[in-house]
Structure 1
Amino acid sequence: MAEQQTAAASGSRKKWYQAVPDPMVLIFIILVATYFLTFIIPAGEFERVTQDGRTVVVPGSFAYLEDVANIPPFNIFVAIPEGLISASQYLFIVFIAGGLFHILQKTGALENAIGVAVNRVGVERRNVIIVVGTFIYGFFGVAVGFENNIALVPIAVLIASAIGCSSLVGTAMAVGGIGIGFALSPINPYTVGVAQGIAELPTFSGAWLRTLLVLSSLALLSLYICKRVVKMEFEEPDNAEALSKPLNEYHLSKRNILTMVVFVGGLVAMLIGVFTRGWYINEIAGTFLLLAIIIGALNGLSANGIVKQMMEGAASVTAGALVIGVAASIQVILEQAVIIDTIVNSLSAMIDGIPSIFSAIMASVVQGIINLFIPSGSGQALVTMPILIPVADLVGMSRQLMITAFQVGDGLTNLIVPTSGGTLAMLALGRVSYAQWLKAIMPFMALVYVLAWVGLVIGHLVGY
């Protein structure tokens, strides 16, 4: 009897990640904590000037402000709709992508294509599929960007289902691969390009260290998914993407093939727009909306039918999409209180006095903290690089290494900070909650940070 009671107590005891509040509650707690910080951290601001069409900070120009009023408590609640408005582009692409992939699921084309492909490769080569998939998504992160790949997450979830894994595995392949690729990309125009412009270095110079870091980190992520994530307990949501029949029963009809040609053609058009015309979230969302209409019509859906399927797909990701807007409210409070520059100035001072061999590690830690308050990579570069490049000169760190430290701190933390709209959007499409994601990814974050820090130290020692 006692043993049964002990077993029951053990079974009813929640694990730490099950005790984590709902993402909405967690982010609201952070929002309230941020509000109280505004009474502790004094308002301050850097002077800014426009150079080559970009607004940059003037180093050494920080000054405290005396005439900034305290924020009324009611603004905590007002900040939420304001955050929803400021993050609207992320919400819309999640809704539209959810609708598009719902239509693709109804046509059966995407499921049939993945089923046929996995059947030919063989489920027994599951680890090979995971490794290849992770590196492919990593390549998209390197070459295309972070938010630009939001809509590709459901494909990885279906691939994971085809090889007998949970949607968590597919989400780890996609979000982890894209995140690592973007974070350590040797050719990232949003972070490396902007930062090297401020540091007066040749664009994308010093790519060898970043290339080694991104390849080794993607290899580490692949190993981590194969050895740990595939074995993790994960309760599939009711609306999770999954294959509907055994692999050997899948085949592609002519309409399926035509549907996939249209879909892949749309992706190619999107990439061309990103690289040649500066497309970003809104243009990509528009592309997916057009694809949804064309694919729906191609598969015999009426106008009303397309709208119905789009609405059903959008409804399935509503909770995850709204989390993005609530998270954006944190930024609203910080901007209203004018304390972002104060935080940046104080954190930047932490690097002074650190032995030069550890300065890059400290710089990455500082940038990781700042990323919680300035989740935009290019925005963070414009704010912090004018301050930290002179700091690098003073402590004997090369400017190139400071930029790589900035990449490590800014990029890697995108995978875990609740203020990263792109990450929350991807989790919404992968049907993985923020708490489940933290449980899965946090051990890997510790490993990849150690790997990146070793790379930074080696970079310093070889005069990078």
Structure 2
Amino acid sequence: MRTNDQALSQRKKWYQTVPDPMVLIFMILLATYVLTFVVPAGEYERVEQDGRTRVVPGSFEYLSDVGTISPFDIFVAVPRGLNEASLYLFIVFIAGGLFHILQRTGALENAIGVAVNRVGVERRNIIITAGTFIYGFFGVAVGFENNIALVPIAVLIASAIGCSSLVGTAMAVGGIGIGFALSPINPYTVGVAQGIAELPTFSGAWLRTLLVVSSLALLSFYICKWVVKMDFEEPDDTKVMSKSLDEYRLSKRNKMTLGVFVLGLAAMLVGVFTQGWYINEIAGMFLLIAIVIGIVNRLSANEIVRQMMEGASKVTPGALVIGLAASIQVILNQAQIIDTIVYSLSGLIQGIPGAMSAIMASVVQGAINLFVPSGSGQALVTMPILIPVADLVGMSRQLMITAFQVGDGLTNLIVPTSGGTLAMLALGRVSYVKWLKAILPFMALVYVLAWVGLVIGHMAGY
């Protein structure tokens, strides 16, 4: 006769037996260390051109004077990774503090409660679809990491319509990720890659626009039909709406608080587009917004600090996952095997004719993204190599760039080396393992959709 423990253990779903995200990423770190003994060190020659460091095609050479990495270096890589990922860690802590203060004032919850009550909770699918497309627009127009702090708003919206934090995180992270990945005006990927390929900036926008709109529609459908119905047995400790929707009202102080928040976001966007602001400046703006909101709500200096600390403490586990993931990049750089991996993978595309070469290029770029998670960095490393390959196999340069965009951008949603994604998951209070369980089926669908788009582009002479 089976014991109760045995029966319970057999009823567990597969995702409940997956190790903690910290354990999972440390296992990847160990696998990366083993890889340094299999993959030889190598590098491309690089030159400065137009203020950017670019790879010289055909210059790859194996290196023989690279020392062996010791087992102790694995553990040294962890604090080094925390240091190198400090940009993401600090914005997560500050954004966590900002939204904790916003939640304590009640302004954000009241505003969402009033808005959802007016639309009607029975129109949940419309709210999810609209939210996904709004976040997708931010991904298209603003960028990826620049939208990190907007994730908790989606979590509250999901709570207001009776859904889990995962639904809100899928709306925000999925929407931002898809928008950024397939944006027709992405300066970090499309702009850099087209500059290298000597194409007009943001040319060929029609195919990318078609891909991003259809992919966001697919994501909306997927969230409504699959994510909201998923049965999660893990505890969800995110904030839920504290009262029924018809009880929500916006006070004068709530409106002032929201005004400060919106004006702060507007100032941030102006800084991003006109002053070249990035993570540090955005984090600084969030800190300023938090202080002003505290003053508007008559909080003392000590109370503002206490609320910021409480908010930061709630996102600490997710922030530490970011630092641990960054240690993977530390080991790869120390072993000098990234260029070797790029060289080997890029060779897979040669000799494959027609549309299949575009699909293979997207797969190769997706694999490279695990080792070179920066979109612009990956463009600078791979495009000088793959643009000539496109010419050789009869693929247009425009299509090669779109294939690069698909492979690089979409995998940002799942690779553990994407600091921006991990930062957003931390603010959404969704574990990396739970996220993978929810998003992987969608990734298969959106890749098929993108590959169909690449084939259509090839057939249309794109």
TM-score of the superposition, structure 2-length normalised?
A: 0.98
| Partner AA of 2:40 in structure 1 | P
Q: Which residue of 1 aligns with 2:82?
A: 84
Deviations 1:72-107 (A, max 9, x none): 111000000000010000000000000000000000
CA contact (8 A) 2:164 2:236 kept: no
1:447 Cα deviation from its structure 2 partner: 0.3
| Partner AA of 1:46 in structure 2 | Y
Task: Write out aligned runs for 1:40-51 (5 A).
Answer: 40-51=38-49
Q: Which residue of 2 aligns with 1:285?
A: 283
Alpha-carbon distance in 2 for matches of 1:159, 1:417: 26
Task: Write out aligned runs for 1:48-59 (5 A).
Answer: 48-59=46-57
Q: Which residue of 2 aligns with 1:387?
A: 385
Matched, 1:145 2:140: no
| Partner AA of 2:263 in structure 1 | G
Alignment gaps of 5+ in structure 2: none
Task: Write out aligned runs for 1:126-137 (5 A).
Answer: 126-137=124-135
Matched, 1:184 2:178: no
Q: Which residue of 2 aligns with 1:214?
A: 212
Select between 215-224 and 292-301 the one with higher mean Cα deviation.
292-301
Alpha-carbon distance in 2 for matches of 1:65, 1:294: 54
Q: Which residue of 1 aligns with 2:416?
A: 418
Task: Write out aligned runs for 1:80-119 (5 A).
Answer: 80-119=78-117
CA contact (8 A) 1:150 1:426 kept: yes
CA contact (8 A) 2:353 2:394 kept: no
Deviations 1:420-450 (A, max 9, x none): 1011111111011111101100110000000
1:5 Cα deviation from its structure 2 partner: 6.4
The 3-state SS of whatever aligns with 1:92 is helix
Q: Which residue of 2 aligns with 1:170?
A: 168
2:154 to 153, 156, 160: 156
Deviations 1:292-314 (A, max 9, x none): 00001110110000000000000
Alpha-carbon distance in 1 for matches of 2:48, 2:269: 30
CA contact (8 A) 2:178 2:212 kept: yes
CA contact (8 A) 1:195 1:382 kept: yes
Select between 226-235 and 397-406 the one with higher mean Cα deviation.
226-235
Alpha-carbon distance in 1 for matches of 2:137, 2:44: 37
| Partner AA of 1:85 in structure 2 | N
Q: Which residue of 2 aligns with 1:70?
A: 68
1:435 to 433, 436, 439: 433
The 3-state SS of whatever aligns with 1:66 is coil
1:238 Cα deviation from its structure 2 partner: 5.4
- Give aligned pairs, total: 462
CA contact (8 A) 2:40 2:340 kept: yes
CA contact (8 A) 2:132 2:175 kept: yes
Matched, 1:353 2:351: yes
Alpha-carbon distance in 2 for matches of 1:142, 1:49: 30
Alpha-carbon distance in 1 for matches of 2:334, 2:13: 38
Q: Which residue of 1 aligns with 2:450?
A: 452
Q: Which residue of 1 aligns with 2:329?
A: 331
| Partner AA of 2:336 in structure 1 | V
Alpha-carbon distance in 1 for matches of 2:335, 2:5: 51
| Partner AA of 1:312 in structure 2 | E
Matched, 1:121 2:146: no
Matched, 1:250 2:248: yes
Alpha-carbon distance in 2 for matches of 1:38, 1:146: 30
Q: Which runs of 4+ in 1 moved over 4 A?
A: 4-8, 235-238
CA contact (8 A) 1:115 1:162 kept: yes
1:393 Cα deviation from its structure 2 partner: 0.3
CA contact (8 A) 1:167 1:236 kept: no
| Partner AA of 2:461 in structure 1 | G
Deviations 1:327-348 (A, max 9, x none): 0000000000000000000000
The 3-state SS of whatever aligns with 2:238 is coil
1:7 Cα deviation from its structure 2 partner: 11
The 3-state SS of whatever aligns with 1:137 is helix
Percent of aligned pairs with the same residue? 82
Alpha-carbon distance in 1 for matches of 2:11, 2:235: 21
Alpha-carbon distance in 1 for matches of 2:426, 2:235: 11
Q: Which residue of 2 aligns with 1:271?
A: 269
The 3-state SS of whatever aligns with 1:39 is helix
Q: Which residue of 2 aligns with 1:340?
A: 338
The 3-state SS of whatever aligns with 2:54 is strand
The 3-state SS of whatever aligns with 2:19 is coil
The 3-state SS of whatever aligns with 1:368 is helix
RMSD after superposition: 1.2
Alpha-carbon distance in 1 for matches of 2:221, 2:154: 17
TM-score of the superposition, structure 1-length normalised?
A: 0.98
Over 3 Å counting, the alpha-carbon distance change for 1:219 and 1:7 in structure 2 is: farther
The 3-state SS of whatever aligns with 2:294 is helix
Q: Which residue of 1 aligns with 2:318?
A: 320
| Partner AA of 2:48 in structure 1 | T
1:237 Cα deviation from its structure 2 partner: 4.3
Over 3 Å counting, the alpha-carbon distance change for 1:238 and 1:398 in structure 2 is: closer
1:458 Cα deviation from its structure 2 partner: 0.5
The 3-state SS of whatever aligns with 1:49 is strand
Task: Write out aligned runs for 1:18-37 (5 A).
Answer: 18-37=16-35
The 3-state SS of whatever aligns with 2:71 is coil
The 3-state SS of whatever aligns with 1:74 is helix
Q: Which residue of 2 aligns with 1:231?
A: 229
Alpha-carbon distance in 2 for matches of 1:331, 1:289: 29
1:241 Cα deviation from its structure 2 partner: 2.0
1:239 Cα deviation from its structure 2 partner: 3.5
Alpha-carbon distance in 1 for matches of 2:247, 2:220: 29
| Partner AA of 1:29 in structure 2 | M
Deviations 1:241-269 (A, max 9, x none): 21100000000000000000110111111
Alpha-carbon distance in 1 for matches of 2:234, 2:70: 42
The 3-state SS of whatever aligns with 2:163 is coil
1:13 Cα deviation from its structure 2 partner: 3.2
CA contact (8 A) 1:366 1:409 kept: yes
| Partner AA of 2:103 in structure 1 | Q
Alpha-carbon distance in 2 for matches of 1:274, 1:349: 37
2:37 to 36, 39, 43: 39
Alpha-carbon distance in 1 for matches of 2:317, 2:363: 31
